[in-house]
Amino acid sequence: MTFMWTNHDFRVRAAGATGDLAARFTGAEPGLIDRMEDFLADPSPVVRAVVASRLPVAYATGPARMWAMADRLIRQEGDPHVIALVASSALRVAGIDTDACVALLAPLATGPRTPDGVSAESPLADVLGSGAASLYIGQDNVVAKAWVATWTADLASYGSELTAFANALREPLFWRYGPGAGKESADGCDRAQDAARLVLTAAVEASTSAHEKVARLAGAPAAPETVAIYRTAERLIGCVVNQLYFGSGAYEKTVHEHQQLADPKERGRFLLDYKTELHLAAQSHEPNTLHYLLELYAFLIPGDPVGVFEAIHGLLTGRGREEGYHFESLGAAVVVRIIRRYIADYRSIFDDGPRQARLVEVLRIFGETGWPDALALLYELPDLLR
């Protein structure tokens, strides 16, 4: 969120200077906080935004003073950017005054999303979503957890908050796998996983319902609200998959030292731990999401070669085929790469007749679509499996 002003906006400069001076000399000049508070009534939202971004300065003179100023701003404010800055400032001191922060933000977090309330496009949605992750995942705050439950029950109203919340899960989803991870890290990871499962479950249900409604229309235009809920739900599924993909280290440009799942045993453990979440993600109707999920499975192969192959087969012959993933050039490339890796490193698992048949089935889907590399590998397969 950005406000624009020039050197000629003297009230903006005065508000900023007052806040900066208060940060350095509050003890010697407590009257500076009084001057900051005077700016709360300024007619310019830019001036009020400057004060809102510096609210934690007032905390040093007494927590009650800062919370009163924050509450005043929220009650009187009409600019969503200023309210978002108030919420952001409150979250900056949440670690030392959690209850007061939660009490301030609770009406905003679960209030109405109407023209008279918080807009879905409001910058406040991002602040509340990431703030809920910090409070719930990081501090095990039960009120923030309840916010998330409210949001998942109404994706149409709170999709933006949930997107910001899911985006904040990348690191917590892997805390239990870090070197020397203790109980606190494991507990936080459990909360992150529970939250991801909650988001995925709600999103899959909403996406499936919307998809079925559209299918029954037989080509007729779908209602705008149906399209909107489908897009929100699929965006959330894709968002969670991205956190798993990039957080795991599957992205080839990830620095090796930052890979939480560098060890094959840890990858196997991850597959067991996140079996439910991966299954939910595989129900996405979006090829882009299925692609990232497939790339994640490719990274996890050493953790359980047989289990991963069966999951890949199910993905490609099921939802992937339904949604036309086999027509994607990136899909064909990654499938050929995965199969060549299996033949090179895990050829023996295809001594099993039914599994070998499933391997051929996957290749045929892409080969018969016309992808040259897939077709060539299909013809080479009998010799490669000898």
For residues 26 and 57, the answer to whether their CB atoms sit within 8 Å is yes
In angstroms, the Cα distances linking 358 to 48, 260, 350, 361, 385 are 64, 31, 9, 5, 14
- Rounded-to-integer distance, Cα 385 and Cα 255, Å: 35
> What does the pLDDT look like over 239-281, one tens digit per residue?
999 999 999 999 876 554 556 788 899 999 999 999 999 999 9
Q: Please report, to the nearest 10 degrees, the dihedral formed by the alpha carbons of residues 174, 198, 111, 43 taken in order.
A: 30
- Rounded-to-integer distance, Cα 22 and Cα 60, Å: 10
Q: Which two tokens stand for residue 236?
A: 């959330």
Q: Which two tokens stand for residue 136?
A: 């719930």
- Rounded-to-integer distance, Cα 65 and Cα 50, Å: 17
Distance of CA 97 to the CA centre of its chain: 26
Q: What is the pLDDT of residue 8?
A: 47
Instruction: Specify the residue for token string 């080969």.
Output: 367
In the DSSP assignment, the letter for residue 351 is G
Q: List, in order, residues 6 or more apart from 55 with CB less than 8 Å away.
A: 66, 69, 70, 86, 89, 90
Q: List, in order, residues 6 or more apart from 119 with CB less than 8 Å away.
A: 80, 113
Q: What is the pLDDT of residue 130?
A: 96
Which residues in the chain land under pLDDT 70? 1-9, 26-29, 114-121, 253-259
Angle at 352 between CA 351 and CA 354, to 5 degrees: 135
Amino acid at 193: Q
Q: List, in order, residues 6 or more apart from 181 with CB less than 8 Å away.
A: 175, 189
For residues 151 and 162, the answer to whether their CB atoms sit within 8 Å is yes
Phi/psi at 4 (5° precision): -110, 140
Instruction: Specify the residue for token string 């909650």.
Output: 198
Among the listed residues 350, 261, 324, 328, the one whose alpha carbon sits nearest the alpha carbon of residue 297 = 261
- Rounded-to-integer distance, Cα 57 and Cα 53, Å: 9
In the DSSP assignment, the letter for residue 221 is P
For residues 253 and 203, the answer to whether their CB atoms sit within 8 Å is no
- Rounded-to-integer distance, Cα 347 and Cα 339, Å: 10
Q: What is the pLDDT of residue 253?
A: 63
- Rounded-to-integer distance, Cα 148 and Cα 127, Å: 14
Which element (helix H / strand E) includes 370?
none
Q: Which two tokens stand for residue 90?
A: 């409150």
Q: List, in order, residues 6 or more apart from 219 with CB less than 8 Å away.
A: none
- State the burial class of residue 233 (Cβ atoms within 10 Å of its Cβ: 0-12, 13-18, 19+): buried
Phi/psi at 78 (5° precision): -115, -10
C-alpha R_g of the chain: 26
| Predicted TM-score (pTM) of this structure | 0.91
Among the listed residues 77, 101, 78, 80, the one whose alpha carbon sits nearest the alpha carbon of residue 89 = 101
